Amino acid sequence: MHKKKGNMASRTAKTRTKKKSTGKKAKVVTPVSPEGIENVISIPNLVTNVALLNLTEEVSNLRQQQRSICEQAIRSILHALDCKDHYTFGHSLRVTYYSLKLGEEYGLKPEELYDLEVAALFHDIGKIAVPDKVLLKPARLDEEEFLIMKSHPSKSAEILEGFEPFKEAAQFAKHHHERYDGRGYPDSMKGQDIPLFSRIILIADTFDAMTSTRPYRKGLPYEVAFSELDEFSGSQFDPELVKHFISVMKKEEAKKEPTFQLSIIEGDWEKDAA
Ligand SMILES: [Fe+2]
């Protein structure tokens, strides 16, 4: 104990001596020029900037990795849908293509289009929960079967909402059968209260249901489907979106391209379901 005190006293004495000598030297130092001060200050700034750049790059790499993992999950889940019902799988891809065309025409930004692509790909994923005898029935559904079929948007949401990156898509899928006049399901939402992406997907979904050929009936020509959309514009569909959809699909039809591409699911996909 005594020894320690002695050491502390001698260290304090040394420090005092040092301080005195530093004080003397400071008097003879030439004043630092403003440029010099700037250089001295910029070194820690530079270190901070480099650290920030590294952090930004790291965050961007992590985002990229997260997106890649999510896309693998999307492809796996859609593969499950393809195993359950090949028609619904193809329908989901075509609905995504139509939704993206409408989204582009409406002026959505690239990030919004990406989110729309995810939501549209997943909109009918809840059909996995619909029994085959109802889902694959090659005829009109009776009342009870129709009730079972109507559960699919809520089932889509249930399947998706447990995985954080799909939470938003879950809500868009849940409401893709809401009608503009409030007579849709599951929540009877009305007009602009219905999420924009759900309103877009509903138009794309209905258009594909009308134009795709099934074993028991031939798909309608685009022109007939356009007039159907027009007729239910304002009651079933958002009228502004219907106008944009018809306009962009007329341009698409004129291109006469038999296939389309998506960003998440690679490949040249047939426009014609037949
Ligand atoms: Fe649906």
Half-sphere exposure of 197 (CA within 13 A, CB side): 23
Q: What is the pLDDT of residue 32?
A: 54
Q: How many angstroms does the Cα of residue 164 sit away from the middle of ligand 1? A: 22
Q: How many angstroms does the Cα of residue 150 sit away from the middle of ligand 1? A: 8
* 129 vs 135: CA distance, rounded Å: 9
Span 6-31, average pLDDT: 44
Q: How many angstroms does the Cα of residue 176 sit away from the middle of ligand 1? A: 7
Span 57-79, average pLDDT: 95
Among residues of the chain, what percentage have pLDDT more than 70? 84
Assign 231 a pLDDT band (cuts: 50, 70, 90): very high
Q: How many angstroms does the Cα of residue 95 sit away from the middle of ligand 1? A: 10
Residue 20: pLDDT over 50: no
Q: How many angstroms does the Cα of residue 11 sit away from the middle of ligand 1? A: 81
Task: Name the residue with tokens 């039809």.
Answer: 253
Q: What is the pLDDT of residue 134?
A: 97
Give the range among 6-20, 103-117, 131-145 with minimum mean pLDDT. Answer: 6-20
- Helix, strand, coil percent content, the chain, rounded in steps of 5: 70, 5, 25
SS3 call for 139: coil
Span 233-248, average pLDDT: 98
The helix (run of H) or strand (run of E) holding residue 134 is helix 132-135
Assign 108 a pLDDT band (cuts: 50, 70, 90): very high
Among residues of the chain, what percentage have pLDDT more than 90? 75
Peptide bond into 31 cis (omega under 30): no
Q: How many angstroms does the Cα of residue 121 sit away from the middle of ligand 1? A: 11
Q: How many angstroms does the Cα of residue 248 sit away from the middle of ligand 1? A: 22
Q: How much is the mean pLDDT over the chain?
A: 88
Residues in contact with 110: Cβ distance below 8 Å, sequence separation at least 6, in sequence order: none
Taking the complete model, does pTM exceed 0.95, yes or no?
no
Q: How many angstroms does the Cα of residue 148 sit away from the middle of ligand 1? A: 12
Q: What is the pLDDT of residue 16?
A: 41
> What angle do the packed helices 86-106 and 239-255 form, to 10 degrees?
110
Task: Name the residue with tokens 């075509």.
Answer: 94
Q: Which domains does the chain have, with CATH numbers?
A: 41-270 (1.10.3210.10)
* 194 vs 224: CA distance, rounded Å: 26
* 174 vs 151: CA distance, rounded Å: 10
DSSP state for residue 117 in the 8-state scheme: H
Q: How many angstroms does the Cα of residue 146 sit away from the middle of ligand 1? A: 12
Q: What is the pLDDT of residue 7?
A: 44
Q: How many angstroms does the Cα of residue 32 sit away from the middle of ligand 1? A: 73
Assign 31 a pLDDT band (cuts: 50, 70, 90): low
Span 222-247, average pLDDT: 98
Number of Cβ atoms within 10 Å of the Cβ of 40 = 10
Residues in contact with 230: Cβ distance below 8 Å, sequence separation at least 6, in sequence order: 242, 246
Tokens of residue 100, six digits: 């993206």
- 226-260 b/e with 16+ CB inside 10 Å = b? bebbeebbeebbbeebbebbbebbeebeeeeeeeb
Residues in contact with 43: Cβ distance below 8 Å, sequence separation at least 6, in sequence order: none
